[in-house]
Amino acid sequence: RSVSLDVTIRPFGLAHQSRSGTSRGMSTSPLHSNLVLPGVRCRAHIGLSEEERAEAQWVVVDLALSFTSPPAATHSDRIDDTVDYATLTATVVKVCTSRPYVLLERLAQALYSELRETLRAETGLWLEASKLRAPLAELEHGARFGLGDWQGGASVTSARRVAVRRN
């Protein structure tokens, strides 16, 4: 008695068909992946008034990147085959410390523009910049502003907000 199996090679691995014809071990959908770097901290001179900008204050930036297919590093385990966290965080620090900013919105746009230059065109980017202390007593958790070309990033970075509030 012989049993034949149909084998289908997928771009990211091997899936095989069971005797019933259903796929086991791998989805037939293409793999998508993302990288989240929550909580990149640095100090920035930011604020509406000169007095507020005079002293550097903590800013936290959450980054979310979306890849149309998983980076080659998922197989090679080589830093050259993926996005380097150190490069991204150094870029955030450089932008935050390069000049004073009046508005969080302007800082976020400057961050987006600079980070976008370091990424491949097909990589989606979403970022949220947080000013931890706003000069308004009613803003218990400061202020956040997000923007990017990957809408899914907003839901990814919002999970961090919920976790921070619970702690």
Active site residues: 131
DSSP run (H or E) holding 113 = helix 104-118
CA-based nearest residue to 36, from 167, 152, 165: 152
Q: Quick check: 119 and 63 in contact, CB under 8 A?
A: no
Sheet holding 124-131, edge to edge: 33-44, 57-67, 124-131, 143-148
CA angle at residue 48 from 163 to 157, to 5 degrees?
A: 20
Pairwise CA distance, residues 25 & 15, whole Å: 6
* Residue 71: φ, ψ to 5°: -60, 150
CA-based nearest residue to 59, from 138, 145, 126, 118: 145
